[in-house]
């Protein structure tokens, strides 16, 4: 089953899988650019929260592990960048 079929099974709009995919790619590229890292990590956290909620609502409990891990890593990156931005330079 492809992602478009899964999104349809979960009752998401027809092109939702493409929108999510674009944001995932942009988030993945954004974490490589220091100026965009924090915003990209926040986007990835939001996407993974959506994935977690989808799998929980659909009763797909074994499928929550990947978004839980990836979302946790994105959150740690966001938190690290936030702390680094607040740290006084000098």
Written as tens digits, the pLDDT of the chain (90 aa) is: 788 899 999 999 989 999 999 999 999 999 999 999 999 999 999 999 999 999 999 999 999 999 999 999 999 999 999 999 888 875
Own/partner pairs, 18-25, CB within 8 angstroms, 24+ separation: 20/47, 20/50, 23/47
CB contact set of 58 (below 8 Å; sequence gap of 6+): 10
Classify residue 33 by its DSSP letter. Answer: S
CB contact set of 24 (below 8 Å; sequence gap of 6+): 44, 47
Give the global pTM.
0.89
């Amino acid at each position: 089953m492809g992602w478009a079929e899964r999104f349809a099974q979960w009752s998401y709009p027809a092109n939702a899988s493409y929108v999510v995919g674009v944001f995932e790619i942009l988030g993945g590229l954004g974490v490589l650019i220091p100026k965009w890292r924090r915003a990209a990590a926040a986007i990835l956290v939001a996407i993974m929260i959506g994935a977690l909620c989808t799998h929980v609502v659909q009763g797909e409990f074994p499928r929550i592990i990947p978004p839980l891990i990836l979302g946790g890593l994105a959150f740690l990156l966001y938190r690290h960048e936030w702390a680094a931005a607040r740290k006084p330079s000098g």
